[in-house]
């Protein structure tokens, strides 16, 4: 999973990116890797892995990972070359979802680029830049497709879609809110890779005082939550300064620090939960003496396709899956004991994999 972090200057975007990626540095198997200066790979926290790894005395424990991309240069007028201009586009086109950091804290020492804190105005500023960028792409595509449609009537649906999308975006609306019932047009829309078609998670950046009640008493956060509900987006409340402090701590210190703040999870954990929910993802697990590992798939994935995440041969030669819920396995203390109790199920090609399934795939190629 790849998430792009956007936001205006002085909203806490870079602080959040730096703290999130540093928080992932403690994973032995997936340390924070700098792919280039603004990309970091972070391990997905998952207590199930440690418990299963201990049960099997696994030599290696490998978490699922998220790639964060810090998308710089997104300011008012970016689509017309302001700031870093369109340099951000090459980074943002390939992300699965956008994490939009919105300032919801007052601080006279941190100047807002527009003079005062107004999260809805900030959201609109970023959204408009993404819309302008998408319009440029759609207009070029329409010009090319309309010419070809004279000789190829099968392109009529695409021309109709492009015209409808352009009108929708010119109205100031994101492509993800465009209503389209035609399956062929939906397939075209998905393939356009539009910025405003990507799902959005709003990170409401608050002061430490507003963190304990999850921003319930912060009017800026309430505005963001209402806007997100209207547009089918997710929201999580975060304090980037606190995340920066948490990133410096080991696991035990982190747990104590969060408890002192009255929090049950870090901002990274909130973000991952929101991302999985928004994108319809879950993790299944494989475990043994050599390795315990988490694998991320979309909800609704059937057993052969889940097996294919591990290796294409597993999917090609799929015979069956031996499935046990991780909690049942831990409670029994051993795979053999779980099997004796009838908790290990034999599942075929139509089995839909569930979150927390521990699976042993049988295959033959």
**What is the arrangement of strands in the sheet containing 200-205, beginning at the earlier edge strand?**
39-43, 65-70, 2-6, 97-103, 200-205, 234-238
Please count the other Cβ atoms lying within 10 Å of the Cβ belonging to residue 63: 22
Residue-level pLDDT at 18: 81
Residue-level pLDDT at 326: 96
CA angle in degrees (0–180, nearest 5) for 266-272-273? 90
Whether the Cβ atoms of residue 54 and residue 333 lie closer than 8 Å to each other: no
Residue-level pLDDT at 249: 85
Task: Pick 21 or 275 by higher pLDDT.
Answer: 275
Using pLDDT thresholds of 50, 70 and 90, give the confidence band for residue 293: very high
Q: Mean pLDDT over residues 31-45, rounded?
A: 65
Look at residue 36 and tell me whether its pLDDT is greater than 70.
no
What are the DSSP E strand ranges found in 18-143? 39-43, 60-62, 65-70, 97-103
Using pLDDT thresholds of 50, 70 and 90, give the confidence band for residue 205: very high
Average pLDDT, the chain: 86
Closest to 36 in 3D by CA, of 12, 8, 70 = 70
Look at residue 58 and tell me whether its pLDDT is greater than 90.
yes
Range with the lowest mean pLDDT among 39-48, 59-68, 83-92, 324-333?
A: 83-92
Look at residue 248 and tell me whether its pLDDT is greater than 70.
yes
pTM of the model: 0.82
Please count the other Cβ atoms lying within 10 Å of the Cβ belonging to residue 182: 12
Q: What tens digit of pLDDT does each residue of 305-321 get? A: 999 999 999 999 999 99
Look at residue 82 and tell me whether its pLDDT is greater than 60.
no
Using pLDDT thresholds of 50, 70 and 90, give the confidence band for residue 77: low
Look at residue 75 and tell me whether its pLDDT is greater than 70.
no
Q: Please identify which residue in the block is written with the tokens 């599942």.
A: 347
Using pLDDT thresholds of 50, 70 and 90, give the confidence band for residue 32: very low
DSSP 45: P
Residues 6+ apart with CB under 8 A from 164: 178, 180
Q: What tens digit of pLDDT does each residue of 322-354 get? A: 999 999 999 999 999 999 999 999 999 999 999
Whether the Cβ atoms of residue 358 and residue 287 lie closer than 8 Å to each other: yes
DSSP three-state, residue 207 = coil
Give 145's Cβ-side CA count (13 Å radius): 18
97 φ, ψ (degrees, to nearest 5): -155, 160
Tokens of 354: 């569930």
Look at residue 142 and tell me whether its pLDDT is greater than 90.
yes
**Cα–Cα distance, 126 to 196 (Å, whole number):** 10
Look at residue 99 and tell me whether its pLDDT is greater than 60.
yes
Residues 6+ apart with CB under 8 A from 119: 102, 103, 104, 204, 220, 223, 224
Look at residue 11 and tell me whether its pLDDT is greater than 50.
yes
**Cα–Cα distance, 74 to 238 (Å, whole number):** 21
- pLDDT > 70 fraction of the chain, expressed in percent and rounded: 88
Residue-level pLDDT at 91: 64
Whether the Cβ atoms of residue 189 and residue 158 lie closer than 8 Å to each other: no
Residue-level pLDDT at 34: 40
């Amino acid at each position: 999973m790849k998430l792009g972090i956007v936001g205006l200057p002085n909203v806490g975007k870079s602080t959040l990116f730096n703290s999130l990626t540093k928080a992932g540095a403690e994973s032995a198997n997936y340390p924070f890797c700098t792919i280039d200066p603004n990309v970091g790979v972070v391990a997905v926290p998952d207590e199930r892995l440690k418990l299963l790894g201990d049960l099997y005395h696994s030599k290696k424990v490998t978490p699922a990972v998220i790639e964060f991309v810090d998308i710089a240069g997104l300011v008012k007028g970016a689509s017309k070359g302001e700031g870093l201009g369109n340099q951000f586009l090459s980074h943002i086109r390939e992300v699965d979802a956008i994490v939009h950091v919105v300032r919801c804290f007052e601080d006279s020492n941190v100047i807002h680029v527009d003079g005062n804190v107004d999260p809805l105005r900030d959201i609109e500023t970023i959204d408009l830049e993404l819309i302008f960028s998408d319009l440029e792409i759609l207009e070029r595509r329409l010009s090319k497709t309309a010419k070809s449609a004279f000789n190829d009537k099968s392109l009529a649906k695409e021309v109709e879609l492009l015209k409808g999308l352009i009108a929708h975006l010119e109205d100031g609306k994101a492509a993800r809110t465009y209503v389209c019932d035609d399956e062929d047009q939906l397939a075209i829309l998905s393939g356009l890779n539009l910025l405003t078609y990507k799902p959005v998670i709003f990170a409401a950046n608050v002061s430490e005082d507003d963190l304990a009640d999850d921003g319930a008493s912060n009017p800026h956060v309430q505005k963001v939550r209402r806007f997100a509900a209207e547009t089918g987006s997710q929201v999580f409340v975060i304090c980037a300064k606190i995340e920066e402090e948490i990133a410096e701590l080991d696991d035990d210190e982190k747990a104590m620090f969060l408890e002192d703040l009255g929090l049950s999870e870090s901002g990274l954990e909130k973000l991952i939960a929101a991302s999985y929910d928004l994108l319809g993802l879950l993790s299944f697990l494989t475990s043994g003496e050599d390795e315990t590992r988490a694998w991320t798939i979309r909800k609704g994935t059937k057993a052969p396709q889940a097996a294919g995440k591990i290796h294409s041969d597993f999917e090609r030669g799929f015979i069956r899956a031996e499935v046990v819920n991780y909690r049942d396995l831990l409670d029994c203390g051993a795979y053999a004991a779980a099997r004796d109790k009838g908790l290990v199920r034999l599942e075929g090609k139509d089995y839909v994999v569930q979150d927390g399934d521990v699976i042993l795939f049988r295959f033959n190629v």
